[in-house]
Copies of this chain bind each other. A is one copy, B any other.
Amino acid sequence: MILVVCLNPALDVTHYVSAVDWAGVNRPTAVHTRPGGKGLNVARTLHALGADVLLMGLAGGDTGRAVEAALRQAGVPSALIPISGLTRHTFTVVDDAGTTASFNEAGPEVTAHEFDSLRMAYLEALATTDAVVLSGSLPPGLPVTTYAALIQAAAAAGVPVLLDSNGAALLQGVSAGPAIVKPNLDELAGATGKILSASGTVCAAGTVCAAHTVDRAAVREAATELRAAGADAVVASLGPAGLLAVTAEGCWHAWPSAVAAGNATGAGDAVAAALVHGLVARRPWDERLRHAVALGAAAVAAPVAGEFRRESYLDGLRPVAVRLEEVR
């Protein structure tokens, strides 16, 4: 079983508006409400892949109830610990041109006592867990060492962890020795202080694409730093330029044959789901990365964040290029 921990789920509300009046009253032409938060997207994706998954998290109030109901309806097994605070909303406005503004609430204040209830359930679940995913931001009230503590507990039980977070929670988590961390370029740059890409300029060492010029040598250096700080493997997502993995066995670059147009929100969560799925299935690194690139691209192509079409994923597997850049 794969245990996905989502400490700060959300009820995502998306308003579609033809043309937005940013200083007036708008009447959305369509409204979508669905549970969100990175961990929830990972759990939904794993469930869609047919994996045995349990979503564990904290939820409170009417928004928390709505998240729980939506997970139940989607058939994703969940264990949500009740909290007195209100599970957050995130709010997104999309206009006809596809311009997207999102408003992400920080989330409810979580008490030490409430987190302790989750920790007890987590420790108990570890006995039947093959891998853990820790994904997303920490809600207010929880210390930045929270993920590190959960990783240590998993290590003590012999369970590998994939960590997908940012800032201090990522850095502290890395020091506890997760099996995989999956930062995007911003998160990797933030964690290491390195400059990894420059828009609009062509870098000799980099891949040139429409959106970014990624300095892959700098990414490798930064990923190697995170490995030195404790992570067993670092998979950096480079946006349209694919994934760069620095592991104990070597360094790989995997990239899609074509840049997918669509909604990139949730693509990172699809990558995380594929990586942990490959870890549990004991796929070799090149195969894990091939699946992760294809699933990420399928998620971008799907209209709703955190979803994907099965054919689009399977059709996308073959054209992924995977290159071993260095053997250890």
**A residues touching B (Cβ–Cβ < 8 Å)?**
13, 15, 17, 20-28, 31, 33, 61-63, 65-66, 69, 86, 88-89, 91, 93, 99-106
11 interchain pairs (CB within 8 A)? A13-B91, A15-B103, A20-B22, A22-B101, A24-B101, A24-B102, A26-B102, A27-B103, A28-B103, A28-B104, A31-B88
Per the bound structure, the CA–CA distance linking A101 and B63 in Å amounts to 23
Per the bound structure, the CA–CA distance linking A25 and B31 in Å amounts to 19
Q: Do residues B86 and A33 form an inter-chain contact, with CB atoms below 8 A?
A: yes
**For A99, what are the chain B residues with a Cβ–Cβ distance below 8 Å?**
22-23
Per the bound structure, the CA–CA distance linking A101 and B101 in Å amounts to 12
In the assembled complex, how far is the CB of residue A71 from the closest CB belonging to chain B, in whole angstroms? 13
**For A24, what are the chain B residues with a Cβ–Cβ distance below 8 Å?**
101-102
Q: Do residues A27 and B93 form an inter-chain contact, with CB atoms below 8 A?
A: no
**For A88, what are the chain B residues with a Cβ–Cβ distance below 8 Å?**
31
Q: Do residues B15 and A91 form an inter-chain contact, with CB atoms below 8 A?
A: yes
Q: Do residues A89 and B22 form an inter-chain contact, with CB atoms below 8 A?
A: no
Q: Do residues A103 and B23 form an inter-chain contact, with CB atoms below 8 A?
A: no
**For A105, what are the chain B residues with a Cβ–Cβ distance below 8 Å?**
15, 28, 31
**For A100, what are the chain B residues with a Cβ–Cβ distance below 8 Å?**
23
Per the bound structure, the CA–CA distance linking A73 and B33 in Å amounts to 26
- Of B25, B62, B66, B103, the contact of A102 (CB 8 Å cutoff): B25
**For A66, what are the chain B residues with a Cβ–Cβ distance below 8 Å?**
61-62
Per the bound structure, the CA–CA distance linking A88 and B27 in Å amounts to 12
Q: What 8 A-B pairs come out closest when comparing CB atoms?
A: A62-B62, A62-B66, A22-B101, A26-B103, A15-B103, A23-B99, A25-B102, A31-B105
**For A102, what are the chain B residues with a Cβ–Cβ distance below 8 Å?**
24-26
Per the bound structure, the CA–CA distance linking A105 and B63 in Å amounts to 17
**For A62, what are the chain B residues with a Cβ–Cβ distance below 8 Å?**
62-63, 65-66, 69
Per the bound structure, the CA–CA distance linking A13 and B26 in Å amounts to 14
Q: Do residues A21 and B101 form an inter-chain contact, with CB atoms below 8 A?
A: yes
In the assembled complex, how far is the CB of residue A69 from the closest CB belonging to chain B, in whole angstroms? 8
